Amino acid sequence: MKNRQLRLKRNIRQGEPVSLDLFDLVETDIPEPNEGQFLVETKALGTSPAQRAYLMGEMSRFHPPLAIGELMRGRGVGPVIKSRHPDYKEGEIVACSTGWQDYSIQDGDQTKMPVKTLQKIHDPQEPLYLHLGTLGASAFAAYYGFLDVGRPKAGETVLVSSCAGGVGSMVAQIARLKGCRVIGIAGGPQKCAWIQDVVGVDAAIDYKNEDLYEKLAELVPNGIDVYFDNVGGETLDAALKNLALRGRIVVCGLISTEYIDPPVPGPRHYYNLIYKRARMEGFFVWDYFEDFPTAEADLVRWYKQGKLTPTERVFKGLESAPEALQSLFAGVDTGIKVIEL
């Protein structure tokens, strides 16, 4: 058996879709762990908009880019199949930075890592890809961003952008569990129907076919208490204009403008942060790493109780990873994008 890997062949160009053409598929020997290390077999990979920046070379503004020939970075989940580390036993399930490959060596000493990402799964659920999405990093971002930064109260009105996406679909479900009125923004009638029928929002706004400002004036005449922002741009500006007194904006992402060159101007309606005594705050999910077991326990409990609906869209095979990543930007699919190996 060999270890298949996707390595960067060339940098992506401005506006170019992510595709398999950007990578070399290579085979190497399966590595052996040294003392203090363990070997993980990748069963599934997750996706994140940040991964596009890895491909951009010197054009990357936010994340360290890959060198040509370097293994594509990414988060995966799978079992420990060989261990020389006392805290990680064979058969245990971990989610970690595997890269786009079948097998990876992990070092249990996270003090060497700039960001802690190695997570032992305490109550594994099948299929394992759930621990990258509904029960993993996507849901952790929703959980901590919404509950810790957004600080919702039952009965409040919550607006979620990119509600048909991975994090957004989880935020909406958690908001509903916490007794909030939830309005989701999505692109197109099919996605709007999906967030109402599957995710369970109280109302949907189709930003592609409806005037966002008019719909917000209609649906939130008393203002937005919590806006969970995944997109930035004009949608953020509309939410700023419609904030309630002491409203909160949770800044999770800016996918609508993140890769536009040159960068677009900032929001116009930020004056409402003053007039409404409001707050806008960003967060980084890995800052909550030490508390991940709390989120995992709540999410697994809600999942087992049938209160949390998985939203994974599953791509098959390592070679489909570029297509899965591109789907985040193409806006053609709903839910959390994962790759099952």
Query: pLDDT, tens digit, for every residue of 103-112?
Result: 999 998 777 6
pLDDT of residue 259: 58
Q: For residues 246 and 312, what is the distance between their CA atoms, to the nearest angstrom?
A: 34
The enclosing domain of 155 has a CATH number of: 3.40.50.720
The enclosing domain of 327 has a CATH number of: 3.90.180.10
User: Are both 44 and 121 inside the same structural domain?
Assistant: yes
Q: What share of the chain is helix, strand, coil (3-state, %, to 5)?
A: 30, 25, 40
User: Are both 145 and 266 inside the same structural domain?
Assistant: yes
Looking up tokens 């990979």 gives 45
Q: For residues 260 and 255, what is the distance between their CA atoms, to the nearest angstrom?
A: 9
User: What average pLDDT does this structure show over 230-244?
Assistant: 94
Whether residue 292 lies inside any domain: the answer is no
State how many domains the chain has.
Answer: 2
Q: Comparing C-alpha atoms, which of 187, 218, 219 is closest to residue 203?
A: 219
User: What average pLDDT does this structure show over 291-312?
Assistant: 96
User: Are both 164 and 210 inside the same structural domain?
Assistant: yes
For residue 53 the two structure tokens come to 């920046």
* Percent share of the chain, pLDDT over 90: 86
**Is the Cα torsion angle 237, 239, 241, 247 positive or negative in sign?**
negative
DSSP assigned state of 35:
T
Q: For residues 238 and 231, what is the distance between their CA atoms, to the nearest angstrom?
A: 12
- Domain ranges, residue 44: 3-128+311-340
Looking up tokens 């919590």 gives 226
pLDDT of residue 261: 66
Q: Does 321 score more than 90 pLDDT?
A: yes
User: What average pLDDT does this structure show over 194-199?
Assistant: 97
Whether residue 60 lies inside any domain: the answer is yes
User: Are both 157 and 110 inside the same structural domain?
Assistant: no
Q: What is the pLDDT of residues 72-121, one digit of tens each?
A: 999 999 999 999 999 999 999 999 999 999 999 999 877 766 667 899 99
Whether residue 81 lies inside any domain: the answer is yes
DSSP string, 260-300: -SSPPP--S-TTHHHHTT-EEEE--GGGGGGGHHHHHHHHH
pLDDT of residue 257: 61
User: Are both 56 and 175 inside the same structural domain?
Assistant: no
User: Are both 57 and 148 inside the same structural domain?
Assistant: no
Whether residue 301 lies inside any domain: the answer is no
Whether residue 222 lies inside any domain: the answer is yes
User: What average pLDDT does this structure show over 5-29?
Assistant: 96
User: Are both 255 and 182 inside the same structural domain?
Assistant: yes
User: Are both 179 and 48 inside the same structural domain?
Assistant: no
As a residue count, the chain comes to: 341
User: Are both 193 and 108 inside the same structural domain?
Assistant: no
For residue 280 the two structure tokens come to 């806008």
User: Are both 113 and 11 inside the same structural domain?
Assistant: yes
Q: What is the pLDDT of residues 165-195, one digit of tens each?
A: 999 999 999 999 999 999 999 999 999 999 9
User: Are both 153 and 280 inside the same structural domain?
Assistant: yes
pLDDT of residue 290: 92
**Is the Cα torsion angle 140, 94, 84, 39 positive or negative in sign?**
negative
pLDDT of residue 114: 65
pLDDT of residue 330: 84
Which residues are within 8 A (CB) of 51 and not within 5 positions of it... i.e. 6 or more apart? 72, 73, 74, 325
Q: Comparing C-alpha atoms, which of 31, 40, 53 is closest to residue 94?
A: 40
**Is the Cα torsion angle 60, 63, 68, 74 positive or negative in sign?**
negative
User: What average pLDDT does this structure show over 59-64?
Assistant: 79
User: Are both 195 and 240 inside the same structural domain?
Assistant: yes
For residue 144 the two structure tokens come to 């901590």
User: What average pLDDT does this structure show over 36-58?
Assistant: 94
Q: Final residue of a domain: which of 285, 301, 331?
A: 285
User: What average pLDDT does this structure show over 235-259?
Assistant: 88
Whether residue 306 lies inside any domain: the answer is no
Whether residue 323 lies inside any domain: the answer is yes
Q: What is the pLDDT of residues 274-283, one digit of tens each?
A: 999 999 999 9
Whether residue 298 lies inside any domain: the answer is no
